[in-house]
A and B are shown apart, each in its own frame.
Chain A
Amino acid sequence: MNKILEFFYKYLSVIIFLVLEILAFLLVVNKNDLQRSVAFRYATTLSAWTYEITNSVTDYFGLAEANKELSEENARLLTENARYRDLMLCSDSSGVSNQLGIVSARESYLSAKVVYNSVYDLQNYIIIDKGSAQGIEEDMGVFTPQGVVGVVQRVSKNYAVVLPIINPEQVISAKIKGNNQLGSVKWNGKTPLKAKLYEIPNHVNVVAGDSIVTSGFSAIFPEDIMIGVVDKATNVENTMYCDIDIALTVDFQSLSYVTVAAFTNKNELLNLQKSLGK
C-alpha cells in the first residue's frame, strides 16, 4: 500500500511539473512579442496545411457554385472590357488611352482560394492559399464578385490570414453610393449576414435599399466594390449619427474563390499620408 502511495506521490509531482511548465510556456508565447510572432508563424502554417487537406475532400461539393461565380466574374470582366474598348475606339484624343494606361498599371488582381473560413466565431478569420511568395502583402483588400470579404492581416510564405468584415477588429472605409457620404463599416458581432455603418450624420437621408460600397480612399480596395445594402436606418435622438444596419452581400458561409487587390503605389500613398502626421 505504501509503495502504491509512494508511486502516486512521485507521479503527482510530474503532473504538477508538466502543468506549470505548460502554463509558463503559454505565458512565453502570449506575453512576449518575439515569441508570439514565431509561434503564430508555425501555427498558421500548420493549421493551413491541415485545413487544406480536409478541404481537398470537401472542395468537390462546392465546384458547381465556384464555376457559377467564375463565369459571373468572367461575364462582368468581358462587359467591362467591351466598355473600355468602346471608349478607346470612340475617342480620337490620346488623353483617354493614357488615362486607361495609368489605371491598369496602378492596381492588379490576384485570384486565391479559401482554405479555411470561420463564420460562427466571434474572432472569425479566413486563410487563403496565396502568400508572400505569390505577391500577397499585408493590408491588401480581398473581395468576390458579390462584394468585400476583408483585408489581409498576416502573410506567411504560401498562405495569408484575412480578417473578414465579420470580425470585430475589422473596420472598412465605405460610402453610400449615390450621395458619396463617407462612413465606416463594422460588424455587429452577431450574425455573419449583418453589419453596421457608422459615422453617417443624422441629416443625411438614408433609406433601406441604398447600396454601401468601398470608398477607394485607403489603397486597400478599389472604389465602388459592393459591401452591403442598407437594411434599416434610424435617427437616434441626442446623437450626431444615424444608426444603420446593413445586410452584407457576400455569403461568408460559402466562400471558395476570392480576388485580392494589389496597389502598386500603395506604399507611396501611405508614406505621403504619414508625412502629414496622420
Chain B
Amino acid sequence: MKYTIEFLFWFVGLVLFQVLLLNHIQIAGVINPFLYIYFIIALPIHTNRISLIFTGFLLGLVIDMFSNTWGIHAMATTFIAFLRPYMFRIVATQEELDKVMPRLKTMGANYVKYIVLMVFIHHLLLFTLEAFTFKYFWVIILKALVSALITILLIFTLEKVRK
C-alpha cells in the first residue's frame, strides 16, 4: 500500500514533468528527452509481467494524449515494459534479483547497463514510429542516441536526488 501511493505520485509527477516541460525541449531538432519511462524502470523488480505491460500501455497512452501523438508512445512504452523482465535476466545477478527495487545504489554497473538498454530501445522505437520510414535510418539512430544520453543523465540525477 505504501508503494502504491508512492508510485501513484511518481506516475503523476513524471507525466506532468514530461508534458509540461520536457516535451517543449527540442534542441537543434535532435535532443528530445523522455524521462517519463523512468516510471517503468523504477517499478519493483518482482512486478508481474501483466501489470507491467498494462502499466506501460497506460503510461504511453497518457503521454500520447497530451502530446497528440496517438499510439506512438503507447507502442514504445509497452514494448520496453514487455522487455523489462528479460533485461533483468541479461544484466542482473541472482543476488541483485532478490532485492525489492532496482536502484543505482544497490545494483551499480548492472543498473547502468539496464538503464542504457531500456532507454535506447525505447527511444529508437519511438523515433522510428514517429518518422514511420527507414529512409532516415541514420538520422533516427543519431536522434535516439543523443536523446537517450540526455534521458539517462536525467535518470541518474533523479537517482542521486532520491533517498
- Chain B at the A interface: mostly helix, strand, loop or mixed? helix
A35–B129 Cα gap in the complex (Å)? 8
Q: Which of B14-22, B73-81, B98-106 contacts A (4 or more CB under 8 A)?
A: B73-81
Neighbour of B132 across the interface among A13, A31, A38, CB < 8 A: A38
A210–B33 Cα gap in the complex (Å)? 67
Neighbour of A21 across the interface among B50, B70, B79, B132, CB < 8 A: B79
Total interface residues in chain A, CB < 8 Å? 22
Q: How far is the CB of B63 from chain A (nearest CB, A)?
A: 12
Indicate if A26 sits at the interface (CB-CB under 8 A): yes
A30–B64 Cα gap in the complex (Å)? 14
Contact check, B71 vs A16: say whether CB atoms are below 8 A apart. Answer: no
User: Given A12-B50, A17-B82, A20-B57, are A27 and B132 also a contact pair (CB < 8 Å)?
Assistant: no
Neighbour of B74 across the interface among A9, A10, A16, A27, CB < 8 A: A27
A270–B50 Cα gap in the complex (Å)? 56
Contact check, A27 vs B79: say whether CB atoms are below 8 A apart. Answer: no
Indicate if B26 sits at the interface (CB-CB under 8 A): no
Interface size class of B (residues with CB under 8 A): 20 to 34
A173–B59 Cα gap in the complex (Å)? 49
Indicate if A99 sits at the interface (CB-CB under 8 A): no
User: Given A17-B78, A17-B82, A20-B78, are A26 and B71 also a contact pair (CB < 8 Å)?
Assistant: yes
A35–B71 Cα gap in the complex (Å)? 11
- Chain A at the B interface: mostly helix, strand, loop or mixed? helix
Bitwise, B49-66 to A at CB < 8 A (1) or not (0) is 110011001001100100
Q: How far is the CB of B62 from chain A (nearest CB, A)?
A: 13
The 8 closest A-B pairs by CB, nearest first: A27-B71, A31-B70, A28-B71, A13-B49, A24-B75, A24-B74, A24-B71, A17-B82
* 74-118 of chain B: CB within 8 A of chain A: 74-75, 78-79, 82
Contact check, A13 vs B53: say whether CB atoms are below 8 A apart. Answer: yes
Which residues of chain B are near A31, meaning CB under 8 Å?
A: 70-71
| Known A13-B50, A32-B71; 15 more pairs at CB < 8 Å | A14-B82, A20-B78, A21-B78, A23-B57, A24-B57, A24-B71, A25-B75, A28-B72, A28-B132, A29-B71, A31-B70, A32-B70, A35-B129, A35-B132, A38-B132
Q: How far is the CB of A148 from chain B (nearest CB, A)?
A: 36
